[in-house]
A and B are shown apart, each in its own frame.
Chain A
Amino acid sequence: MMTFLAQHGLALRSALRRLVASPLNTVLSLMVIGAALALPSAGWIVLDNVQDIAGNISGTQQISLFMAVDAGRKDTAEIEARLKEAKVGKWRFVPKEEALKNLQATEGMNEIVASLPRNPLPDAFVVEPADTRPESLEELAKTAAGWPKVAHVQLDSAWIKRLDLFLRIGKLTVTLLASLFAGALVAVTFNTIRLQILAQADEIEVAKLIGATDAYVSRPFLYFGAVQGVLGGLFATVLLMAAGYVLAPPVGELIELYGGGFALQSLSAANIAVIAAIGGGLGWLGAQLSVTIYLRRIA
């Protein structure tokens, strides 16, 4: 076990020495890897924030069930029972009197309401569905429209559909972008390791002749790829945090204009760890591919 750990420690030190030995190459590689990881990560963060805004809006997503004007207490009790049975989420009964009061409280409506001979508003139920997926909302609205004495069901499904579609396209685009950049990161590491293997072909040959296993020869290169990837990932998070710092004030102002109390989400420790781990994993993969192909050629 001690030998195993010592050999891994040796390989890690060797990888770090190589990174430090050529600082310019290392910095350039980290910039490329950082950019490759930062772009799709930025995409995910933007989508996450948009989803958050949408989530806030969906918090106010409501389905209004307007009863027929001639609906009585028995009819509203029936709808209450059906809502309870369907477990749709939260709902609130708005009697026609309360609706009228609300209307009166609206600026400029007081006189108009006073001139009306009778209350024209119906009783209503305001439902805040637990499931805010567009298809679920539509299903609920369709079902509720068929209930007795429900005169009208109001749901702004087109807007929700558009937002949902936008998010889906966004996620797909970011996924494609992430795949592309992941491929680029693997290729960058592959090439870096290939050049290192070719530069150290003599050393590898000698080591193999005197008893080095493939694992022993590969290990420093794998560590190099992984460490470079992790450092690239950390560099990407620095870029993202810098971008967030610059963008947060104008985005806040924009959201403020729409009356939202929303702030850009910054990267959490878990986010940073995930980005660094993805960088490390992809770096290791690139190194593994390179080592597998070029060690075989040297052998």
Chain B
Amino acid sequence: MISVSALTKRYPEGLEAIKDVTFDISAGEMVFISGHSGAGKSTLFKLLAAIERPTSGSIVINGQNITALRQSAIPYLRRNIGLIFQDQKLLFDRTALDNVLLPLAIVGLPHKEAVRRARAALDKVGLLDRENVNPIALSGGEQQRLAIARAIVNRPSIMLADEPTANLDSDSASTIHALFRAFHQVGVTVVVATHDPQWMAQFSPRIIRLERGRLLGGAA
């Protein structure tokens, strides 16, 4: 499903954030990408989400080499991946429902069907009763759940999350953990960049460990 080969990312100022990283992730697997701050977790997340291009190496997702994709093809790739960001990237001038409707509007789903699916996604993350609330009025944990609802509304086969429980209290974090576990159980491939040891300890998943951009373990 995801095959990373000899991946290197070097920034123009000379910093090598990812160095010759190789690993595979099977369909339906749940994998943590772990490491200290500056280890390269977020860079790897951006490379997997095609937000940044690698300096060398390749990333193949569902048989498609995304590093060779034209820029104009990237949006279509992202529609099949549920992306969850540390800072959520919500639109604070829209309601919770409108935020979840955005990916469906992008793919051109008819409004009625889009509203039905957006409400279903909000229901999954326990925010259906807050659909008309502006995200600014939601707690940190609720905002992260709203971001998750937006990520799953297009029913992606892969979910990529970058530090989704950072800055959350333990209760909110537990709710997020449960949601990710539920997605994994229904066959979604889940890749989470985190340094939350409590979360990793709850599961016995594969952990891809990074240090200063290099792979320390968990490649297979």
Q: Which 10 A-B pairs have the closest CB atoms?
A: A3-B108, A211-B79, A211-B78, A213-B75, A211-B75, A212-B106, A206-B89, A210-B103, A7-B108, A211-B106
User: In the complex where A210-B103, A211-B76, A212-B75 touch, is A205 in contact with B108 (Cβ < 8 A)?
Assistant: no
Q: Is the interface of A mostly helix, strand, loop or mixed?
A: helix
Q: How far is the CA of A206 from the CA of B154 in the complex (A)?
A: 15
Q: How far is the CA of A134 from the CA of B72 in the complex (A)?
A: 58
Nearest residue in A to B78 (C-beta to C-beta)?
A211
Contacts A6-B110, A209-B83 aside, 4 further interface pairs with beta carbons under 8 A come to A203-B91, A206-B89, A209-B49, A210-B83
**A208 at the A/B interface (Cβ < 8 Å)?**
yes
**B219 at the A/B interface (Cβ < 8 Å)?**
no
- Give the size of the chain B interface in residues (CB under 8 angstroms): 24
A202 touches B83 (CB 8 A): no
Within 8 A of B (CB), among A194-229: 202-203, 205-214, 216
CB distance from A210 to the nearest CB of B (A): 5
Chain B residues in the interface with A (C-beta under 8 A): 49, 51, 72, 75-76, 78-79, 83, 85, 89-91, 93, 102-103, 105-108, 110-111, 150-151, 154
B83 touches A10 (CB 8 A): no
A209 touches B51 (CB 8 A): yes
- Give the size of the chain A interface in residues (CB under 8 angstroms): 19
B72 touches A10 (CB 8 A): no
Q: How far is the CA of A4 from the CA of B108 in the complex (A)?
A: 7
Residues of B within 8 A of A207 (CB): 102, 106
Residues of B within 8 A of A214 (CB): 72
A10 touches B107 (CB 8 A): no
Q: How far is the CA of A91 from the CA of B8 in the complex (A)?
A: 90
* Residue from B72, B105, B110 within 8 A of A213 (CB atoms): B72
Nearest residue in B to A7 (C-beta to C-beta)?
B108
